A and B are shown apart, each in its own frame.
Chain A
Amino acid sequence: MTINIEKNGSELIIHVVGSINTQTAPQLEKEVGDNLEGIINLIFDFKEVDYVSSAGLRVLLKYDNLMDGKGTLKVINVCSDVKEVFDMTGFSSILTLE
């Protein structure tokens, strides 16, 4: 997994390439945490994500809770396989997906 970070003022866009699994999820968690200062709009771009395991879901859950009241969290460009995992776990009803 590789992560590209794009910061536009109060907007943080995380472009993820690869799989978010047990091995890679801690890296994602750290990178987002390190750049969260002053961010109101947190956007995850999953255009090139093959799959998200529950470890990845936990990272999303953590930042969704953190942003609650402070700003917004969005996940964009979700492919159908990842969407399926979001659907079966109920995440798609809570996260803002675009």
Chain B
Amino acid sequence: MDATSIGKMISGLVGTVAVLNICVLFIESIHSFSKLRGDNNHLIRMIFYGIIGGLFGMYATIAGYEMPNSGAVVSIRDAGAMVAGFAGGPIGGLVAGVIAGLHRLLLGLPDVTAGTSIPCAISTVLIGVITGFLEKFFKSKKHQPLWALLHGALMEVLHLSIAFFYLWMMKGSAEIAFNALKEIVIPFILSNSIAFGLIVLLQNQIRKLRKTEDHTRQMEGELGVATHIQDSMLPKIFPTFPGRKEFDIYAIMNPAKEVGGDFYDFYFIDDNHFAFSIADVSGKGIPSALFMVIAKTLIKTNVQSGISLSEAMNKANLQLLEGNNEHMFVTCWIGVVEISSGKLTYVNCGHNPPIIHKNGEPLTYLRDLSGFVLAGSRKTQYKEYTLYLKENDKIFLYTDGITEAMDKENHQYGEKRLINFLTNANHEVDANHIIQDVHDDVKKFAGNVEQSDDMTMLALRINGFYQELEVPSTIDSFDKISEFTNQKFKEKNVEPSIISKMDVVIDELFSNVVKYSKSESLKYYLFVERNMISIKFKYGGIAFDITKAKTPDVNAPLAERQEGGLGLFIVKKICDEVTYEYKHNYNIITVSKKY
């Protein structure tokens, strides 16, 4: 055999191997087919591989290389049967072997006994089935492609042996048989074993890839759940405290990744003390999200335990330091506002300075620092600061994701731009509008630049305070309440029709308390701010939930009506909100109406 023939033979065989590889690549990449893979005994999978292997075998037979001297043909038909057996088990191997073998037999017509058609066909079927039975053996091996190489070579030795003995039998001479086959021994064994080895290698690679892909998809799914869990950990129902008209609050947290290390929080410590905070955990992504959960829980637990704010933060600091081997830390600003007076106590643990807007004064940064970051040092003792908030005062908390947001020229949004924006913003809007406006401005500033850090903001606005009047629980006290109320209404320019409606409401509620509660005195609270009137009655005596009072049938004939319930019915009709709670032996009725 000359060099040209060898070259032709090699290029022809390589082409066929390539076709087989493409077939396998295609099948393995079909997603729905890959689902069948997991099920080893799936009949459809076996037969499917059998047919594919068989068709390939037919193609390989046709594309086989005819030796220039002996006319013997080198083909990788057997590789098709082996692939079918490898991937489709004994059934797959049998199907492929029969298809490719029959095809080989038909090519030998009209005289199938003349050449090697019969032994070749039988060999293909045998090889398919044997490989199929070895399916489990292959799967248990670490280096499948190398085993495939060896198996391919052994199978071709078997094939050649069958052909040799057949020819010996037919021609009656071992020498003739040997001469007919000797030219193809090496190319035959090499081409089939390499073809099979390569395909197993390819299939291994694809499966590995798909495993990674599945794993990634699973991780993404879990991250999605984590995002949701983290999101639901932050209080998000606004307005969060119906019946609390003294302030309004709004906050958002936009993580840069699926989960973030920023958080905000707010809650009542008791009826009169409201805590609100913002924090930023070092780092980003899952590690900081995990630390965020711990930090948020520890801070809240300590703050709600009733100790002073600085003590609570001292405790949280030490608890966060326990077992903090990753040396993560949290910056945090937390404030507690006394609702009845506006007294704000705050502690700043290394967090960005909030902006405070006292009504009628320029906005400023609240730069007091109480101590080092949380989980930073055992030695930290936090210092508490105090100031008084009045009607229309606002405080704006944020994390560095806001001030350090970048535009495409790498400029930071910055503290200056933030305070200027807030200074020029409409000061009459609610907390949620302030947040939305800043958010929009930061987005506008950043343009198309990808958000690199979590962006979190919280705004709290003091709307006003309830004024308090304590009177004996007798009908005569009504004049006092009425005078107290009307003076405030006049001061706030409430229109007469609203005044007369609220007079009815106060009369109904007050007379109800006097008649039925058996309480000796009652506390009356009045709040008139920002187009909102809110009235509270707090009294002891018999607990009775007015919101559960029977609603009278206003369409029934008057004579048939029951006496009670009508007054409370009127109250509910006039007011936008009526709530009742019983706490510490006190009934508290709160009603409110917009005007």
Contacts and interface: CB of A to CB of B under 8 A. Distances in A.
Interface of A: 19, 21-23, 50-55, 57-58, 61, 64-65, 68, 80-82, 84-85, 88-91, 93-94
B558 interface: yes
- Main secondary structure, interface of B, reads helix
B558 A65 contact: yes
Contacts of A88: 554, 570, 573-574
A91 B558 contact: yes
Contact of B570 (A23, A53, A80, A81): A53
Contacts of B559: 65, 68
B478 A23 contact: yes
A54 B566 contact: yes
Interface stretch (B41-49, B152-160, B345-353, B507-515): B507-515
Interface residues of B, number: 28
Nearest to A62: B558
Contact of A54 (B500, B557, B570): B570
B558 A21 contact: no
Contact of A90 (B478, B501, B554, B574): B554
B569 interface: yes
Given A52-B504, A81-B500, A94-B557, A21 B567 contact: no
A93 B479 CA distance: 32
Contacts of A90: 554-556
B134 interface: no
A82 B559 CA distance: 21
Contacts of B520: none
Contacts of B514: 22
Contacts of B554: 88-90
Interface core residue of B501, B567, B574 (most chain A CB under 10 Å): B567
Interface core residue of A22, A64, A68, A82 (most chain B CB under 10 Å): A22
Contacts of B561: 61
A22 B475 contact: yes
Contact of A89 (B510, B563, B569): B569
A53 B501 CA distance: 9
Contacts of A91: 558
Contacts of A65: 558-559
Interface core residue of A53, A54, A89, A93 (most chain B CB under 10 Å): A54
Contacts, number: 76
A19 B506 CA distance: 12
Contacts of B557: 94
27 contacts: A19-B507, A21-B504, A22-B478, A22-B507, A22-B510, A23-B476, A23-B478, A50-B500, A51-B500, A51-B504, A51-B507, A53-B508, A53-B511, A53-B570, A54-B569, A55-B567, A61-B558, A81-B497, A81-B501, A85-B504, A85-B570, A88-B554, A89-B566, A89-B569, A89-B570, A90-B556, A94-B557
A81 B500 CA distance: 7
Contacts of A85: 504, 570
Nearest to A95: B558
A80 B501 CA distance: 11
B503 interface: yes
User: What are the 7 A-B residue pairs with the smallest beta carbon separation, nearest first?
Assistant: A90-B554, A22-B511, A54-B567, A21-B507, A53-B507, A51-B500, A54-B566
B503 A19 contact: yes
Contacts of A23: 475-476, 478-479, 507
A44 to B, nearest CB: 15
Contact of B558 (A53, A54, A64, A80): A64
B567 A50 contact: no
Nearest to A82: B500
Nearest to A19: B503
A93 B557 CA distance: 9
B501 A51 contact: yes
Interface core residue of A61, A89, A91 (most chain B CB under 10 Å): A89
Nearest to B512: A22
A8 B391 CA distance: 57
Nearest to B497: A81
A91 to B, nearest CB: 7
Contacts of A55: 507, 511, 567
A58 to B, nearest CB: 7
Contacts of B510: 22
A27 to B, nearest CB: 12
Contacts of B567: 53-55
Contacts of B563: 58
Contacts of A22: 475, 478, 507-508, 510-511, 514
Nearest to B501: A81
A51 B567 CA distance: 13
A89 B558 CA distance: 10
B497 A80 contact: yes
A35 to B, nearest CB: 22
B557 to A, nearest CB: 7
B304 to A, nearest CB: 41
Interface in B552-581: 554-559, 561, 563, 566-567, 569-570, 573-574
Nearest to B572: A88
Nearest to A49: B500
Contacts of A68: 559
Contacts of A53: 503-504, 507-508, 511, 567, 570
Interface string B141-175: 00000000000000000000000000000000000
A61 B561 CA distance: 10
